[in-house]
Every structure is written in structure tokens, then in C-alpha cells.
Chains A and B, each alone.
Chain A
Amino acid sequence: MKKTYKIEVDCANCATKMEDAAKKTEGVADASVNFVLQKMTVEFVDGADPKEVMKVVLKNCKKVESDCEIEI
């Protein structure tokens, strides 16, 4: 399952870090951040609950870039 979320992040390098953080989150098969469009596309592992996974994704992203936001 693939879902796209609106994000807020101010620098391009931080966007890359968010992408890495999201990818490493359990339940995420793949993730890609589009800095210019301020969007994050997340592909979930089968059977994962997107809502729960995204909470962890946000937490992990906040760790690498405290100033970021994901609209879940």
C-alpha cells in the first residue's frame, strides 16, 4: 500500500534525512521525500497499519530534523 503525505521541511538536506529516517522505520517498505513539492510517499509493508507506522515515522523524522512536520 502506498500513501502520500504532506510534509513541512525547510532545507533540502533535511528532506533527505527525513527520507532515510522514514525508510528505516519498521513497517515501511520504501519511502521517498519530494522536497520541492513538500510531499512524502510511503510504501507500507503488507499488513502494517499506516496510522501507527506514520506515528513512528514522524517520531523518527523529528529526531533527525526537529523542525519538520508530517500531516498524518
Chain B
Amino acid sequence: MISLRKKQKKVLYRIIIAAILTIVVALAPIDYGEYHKEILFCLFLIPYLIIGYDILIKAAKGIGNGQAFDENFLMAVATIGAMILGVTYTGDYEEAVAVMIFYQIGELFQSIAVDQSRNSISKLMEIRPDSAFIEENGELTEVDPDEVEIGTVIVVRPGDRVPIDGVIVEGTSSLNTSALTGESIPRDVMEGDEVLSGCINLSGVLKIRTTKEFGESTVSKILDLVENASSRKAKTEAFITKFAKVYTPFVVGSALLLAIVPTLVQLGMGTDPEFQQWIYRALTFLVISCPCALVISIPLGFFAGLGGASREGVLVKGSNYLEMLSDVDVVVFDKTGTLTQGVFEVTDVSCNEIPRERLIEMAAAAESSSPHPIAASLVRAHGIDIDRSRVSDVEDIPGKGVIAKVDGVPVAVGNKRLMEHLGLEIEEVQATGTTVHVAIDGKFAGSITISDVVKPESHQAMEDLRKAGIKKTVMLTGDADAVAQKVASEIGIDEVYSQLLPADKLAKIENIIEENDGSAVAFVGDGINDAPSLVRSDIGITMGAIGSDAAIEASDVVIMDDDPRKIATSIGISRKTMKIINENIIFTLIVKFGFLGLAAVGVVDMWLAIIADVGVMIVAVLNSARALRYKLR
């Protein structure tokens, strides 16, 4: 049910009263005698003032402030002009009143439509927590999350939303993370686990020590991003703004010419000037002079598109990026974490001189401070927490590996290139996956093979992209060629570049952008170590990176969960949005200029002109709202 604001209700009542009065006065078959025209004028003046007084006042104020092309002013001129023509010439006053009524209907509709779409978007934003609870002297006190300082222990009861990011100090529970990740399976958490704001606590009471301020917490960041997205305006919007600034003066200028030139020509030719007729046509021009339909429907379309995307778990950081997404022809993927799970498992170990456990332990210790997924899998394979104090002198060699001292013994863990760099001979192993070589105390000690698992959705994701008309899919990876080729053929990707160092990836992206001049290139990464590529590409997309500020910062589109099919979804949403927007632009311009033409030759009267003008706006606004809904396939 549509609920109206007080202001809107007032306008609605004014419209109804004015409409009824106008109909009564117009239909009453009364002859007012000698002063029929004048009395009728006074009678029509009542509904005219009821419906138009605010516009007349605004118009007057506008003149005072030098706002000549203010649409209130133009409506006032058009209707007053029509009234004067009525008194002096036609005796027709309904028209002026009707124009005012329709204009107000249009304004009212516009205001309701905007409220509606704002409401449907704010439903998406219901993840904003209103309060946090602090325990004081054994009692829970409700406070504004904004006032909670870092390090405060907050209590989150079952059913509540975690208001601020933090670490659990007491309690176990399961969390519904669907607002952040789209993942519907609850996540079990216990003491010591990090929790992100926006999750819903499902079972037990949790005490959480906050690690961030509310404003810096995940939920605020996401809301900020969604709310500010439509502030980054798209090229189309900029064009419309410029167009709107020229359109009104152009129409007003044409109206002036229309009022003067034909009359002068007729005078010059010695024929009877029909100046009332030309003035009437000029006034009709003014009725069509507001670019409102465009100015309202285009931003609304983008807003709805952004809302529709966030409904699908895709955060697009600006209207400009939504626009750019529709032009994407080439999608470049970073393999790890986007097409594959990014969860590596040790699948093969080869060593001769030392026990297998020892090899894994040394490798895990050396890698224990690295954020790389391979490091995490080594630590997992080791199974026991590593005492960090055993590790010193850690040196990260990008694209090669890590050198560190474990218990004072130098350990090198990395790829073939690292071993070459250290001048060590290695024993080749025959296994598909990523092989890390380990050297202990300057001697090659063995190799550990780690494999990544392809995401089950990756194949479908490529299919969807092809169906969406993407010309080329490319995969970049630092992995060995054999691994890369296997993954690529499994999921059906077009081009593969393997064994790339992080710097190579950036160079490759630049190459691809150059090769595909004229079409937009999207880069999809997991936000770890690929910020430069994300920034350099036309559109940087990160997946499953919620909680990582750096990744969100570097990307233009954030996919909340880690489903690669969402890339085709986002492109689909953006194309639908752009199609709607273009439809609106073309439709509005055809109607506006069509009616200007028809009004100039006198086919269209003021009645039709205002109906067309309001009608085109209503159609455009309703069309824009469609962008909010997107159906997969």
C-alpha cells in the first residue's frame, strides 16, 4: 500500500478540489449574460489559484532571484498567458486550469515514485544495527553503537545483530552471515574468533571485545558504499544534466521566435497577422519546456539498478561503474580464490633425508607469518600451532617464496625460481598442483605439493558469461602451466597465462587492455595481492572479500559471497539498467521534440501537450523502477 506524506496528501486534495470545481464550472450550462466571459474568468480563477498558488509564488520569488528559466516561472507564464488569451480572445479558461492540474499531478507522482523506490532500497539496508548492549554491574545497558569505544566488551544476545566488529571473549554460538556473504549456512564461532558486524547471532549469548569503531565496522562500510554509490555519477547522467541546462533555454527561445517571427512575416506580406494563434502556440511550447522526465528518470534508473545489484549480493560502487559494466567484453580472472576455492591442501610430499612431518613443520614455521593461501595450508597440514618466537629474520621474496630462520636454522620455502635464486639443485616431482620446494640450512630438503580445488560454480560461470555475450575470458595465475591448463580446460576458459609474478600480472592486464582497445576489460580477483590489477583494469571486481578494507577500497564492484556466477549476473543487471535508461532517453526525446513540432504547426493544443509531458514522465519513471528487479536467465 502506498502511504502518502502530509505534503503529498495536501497536493492530492488540492488536485481533487480543483478538478471538481473546474468540471462543475465548465459544465454548468449557465449564461452569465452581458459579462459572460469575465464572470467565467473569475469562476475559473478559483480552481486555478487553489491548484497553482504555490507555483505562482515560487515563480515570483524566482524572478526576484534571477531564475528566469525556472519551471515554475514557465508554467506560470504559460497558464497566465492562456488565461489572458481566454479573456481577450478564445473565452476558453479550462485549459489553463487543466495545465496546472496536470502539472501538479506529475509533480505528485514523481514525488511518490521517488519515495517508493527509496523505500524499497532502504529495505535492503535493514542490516543497520540500532543499538549495542554493554554489561554494567551485571545489568545490560543499551547504548548507541556510535558511542562504543574500541576495546569495549559488548553483549550480543541470540537474535540480535552484531553491531560492531570484534573478537569473542566469551561464549559460543552460530552466526547467520547471509547479510554479508549471501552464504545461508550458519557459521559456528567460539571464544577467540573474529566476528564481523552485520551477522545475526543465532544461538548463544556472545561477549565481544570491539576492535573497531562503529563507523569503521564492516556493516557501516557496506551501508556507506551502497548509499554513496549513486553519488558517483555516470557519463549518461552528466550528459542529461548538460542537456537539461540547454534544453529549457532552447525551448523558451524557440517559443519567443514562434510568437514574434510568423506574426512579423505575415505583417510584412500584408496578410492579417494571427498573433493570438502564434502566442498560443508559443505558450504551448513553454508547457513542454521542463526536462523533468529525463532529469528524474535517469538517476532513478541508476539508483534502481544499484539497488537491484545489492539485492543480488553485488555492491557496485558507483553509477559510473554500473554503466561501465555493461560495456565489458573481456573478463580476466585471477585463478586463486576466484575460480578455485583458494583453499589448498597438501596432496603430496617427497623427501629423502628427513621425516615428512619434520619437512612440513619447518616449511610451515617459515611461512607462518605469510598471508598467502599456500602458507595457510602448510600450517593446517602441520596441525599444531607454531610458536612464532621460533621464527626470525623473515624475508618475503615476491613471486618466489620466503626465507626465514627457524630455531636459528635458515629455511627457504618457495618455487623453483627461489631454489634457482639460491643456486640449489632440485628433484623434479610429477604431481599436478603447486609444488613448493624446501631448503634447510642451505641444502635442498624436499618438496611439498599443494592442490587447489576448482569451485563447483566456475564452469557454469563461464557459460553464463558467454551467454551474456562476453567475447573473451582470460585466466592469470602464478601457478605452473600444467596446473593452469588443467583448471582452464576443466572450467572452459578461453585464454590462460601461467607462471606470472605479481608484477607480470599487471603487465599482462595492461597488454590485454591495449589489445582490446574500445571494449572494457574487467579484472576479477580475491583482493589479496592484486590491488594494482584491480585499479588498472576498467572495472575491478573482488569476490568474497568482505572484511578486507584494502580489497574493497581497490575494487569498483564487490561481490559479497564468492560465487563467480555473480559476475554474469552483475553484467546482466548493468545491461538491463542501461537498456532501460536508453529507452527512457530516446522515448522522452522523441515525445518532447515530436510534440514541440506538432505544437508549432498547431496540431497539438495545450491540453495534449501537458498530458504528453506528464505522461512521458510517468512512463519513464515506471520504466526506471524495473531496473530494481532482475531475473536470472
Is the Cβ of A36 less than 8 Å from the Cβ of B292? no
Closest to A37 in B: B227
Is the Cβ of B241 less than 8 Å from the Cβ of A16? yes
Please classify the interface of chain A as helix (H, G, I), strand (E, B), loop, or mixed, using the class held by over half of its residues.
Answer: mixed
Does A72 touch B at the CB level, under 8 Å?
no
Bound CA span A63–B233, Å:
25
Does B471 touch A at the CB level, under 8 Å?
no
Does A1 touch B at the CB level, under 8 Å?
no
| A-contacting residues, B209-252, CB 8 Å | 227-228, 230-231, 233, 241, 244
Is the Cβ of B67 less than 8 Å from the Cβ of A36? no
Bound CA span A21–B87, Å:
39
Closest to B71 in A: A13
Residues in B with CB closer than 8 Å to A34 are 230-231
B225 to chain A, nearest CB (A): 13
Does A11 touch B at the CB level, under 8 Å?
yes
Does B584 touch A at the CB level, under 8 Å?
no
Residues in A with CB closer than 8 Å to B57 are 66
Residues in A with CB closer than 8 Å to B376 are none
Bound CA span A69–B54, Å:
16
Does B61 touch A at the CB level, under 8 Å?
yes
| A-contacting residues, B111-132, CB 8 Å | 111, 114, 117-118
Is the Cβ of A12 less than 8 Å from the Cβ of B65? no
Bound CA span A3–B107, Å:
29
| A-contacting residues, B275-312, CB 8 Å | 290-292, 295-296, 299-300, 303
Does A25 touch B at the CB level, under 8 Å?
no
Closest to A66 in B: B61
| B-contacting residues, A1-52, CB 8 Å | 10-13, 16-17, 32, 34-39, 41
Bound CA span A1–B117, Å:
30
B491 to chain A, nearest CB (A): 39
Does A67 touch B at the CB level, under 8 Å?
yes
Is the Cβ of B291 less than 8 Å from the Cβ of A41? no
Does B58 touch A at the CB level, under 8 Å?
yes
B212 to chain A, nearest CB (A): 20
Q: Using A37-B118, A41-B231 as known contacts, say yes or no to A13 and B295 having CB atoms under 8 A apart.
A: yes
Bound CA span A11–B54, Å:
14
B369 to chain A, nearest CB (A): 36
Residues in B with CB closer than 8 Å to A13 are 71, 244, 290-292, 295-296
Residues in B with CB closer than 8 Å to A35 are 114, 296, 299
B108 to chain A, nearest CB (A): 10
Q: Using A36-B118, A66-B61 as known contacts, say yes or no to A12 and B295 having CB atoms under 8 A apart.
A: yes
Residues in A with CB closer than 8 Å to B241 are 16
Is the Cβ of A11 less than 8 Å from the Cβ of B107? yes
Q: Using A11-B110, A36-B299 as known contacts, say yes or no to A64 and B65 having CB atoms under 8 A apart.
A: yes
Residues in A with CB closer than 8 Å to B230 are 34, 36-37
Is the Cβ of B292 less than 8 Å from the Cβ of A12? yes
Bound CA span A13–B110, Å:
12
A13 to chain B, nearest CB (A): 5
Bound CA span A32–B241, Å:
13
From A10, A16, A66, A67, give the contact of B244 (CB < 8 A).
Answer: A16
Is the Cβ of B299 less than 8 Å from the Cβ of A12? yes
Bound CA span A10–B114, Å:
10
Is the Cβ of A11 less than 8 Å from the Cβ of B58? no
From A10, A37, A39, A64, give the contact of B111 (CB < 8 A).
Answer: A10
Is the Cβ of A12 less than 8 Å from the Cβ of B71? no
Is the Cβ of B110 less than 8 Å from the Cβ of A12? yes
Mark contacts of B532-554 with chain A using CB atoms, 8 A cut-off: 1 yes-contact digit, 0 otherwise: 00000000000000000000000
Q: Using A10-B111, A13-B71, A13-B244 as known contacts, say yes or no to A32 and B295 having CB atoms under 8 A apart.
A: no
Is the Cβ of A36 less than 8 Å from the Cβ of B117? yes
Closest to A36 in B: B303
B271 to chain A, nearest CB (A): 40
Bound CA span A67–B62, Å:
11
Q: Using A10-B111, A11-B292, A36-B299 as known contacts, say yes or no to A63 and B231 having CB atoms under 8 A apart.
A: no
B514 to chain A, nearest CB (A): 33
**Please, could you name 20 A-B residue pairs with CB atoms under 8 Å apart, sorted by A?**
A10-B7, A10-B111, A11-B292, A11-B296, A12-B295, A13-B295, A16-B241, A16-B244, A32-B233, A35-B114, A35-B299, A36-B230, A36-B299, A36-B300, A36-B303, A37-B118, A37-B230, A38-B118, A39-B227, A63-B67
Q: Which 5 A-B pairs have the closest CB atoms?
A: A12-B296, A63-B65, A12-B295, A36-B303, A66-B61
- Chain A residues proximal to chain B, CB less than 8 Å: 10-13, 16-17, 32, 34-39, 41, 63-64, 66-67
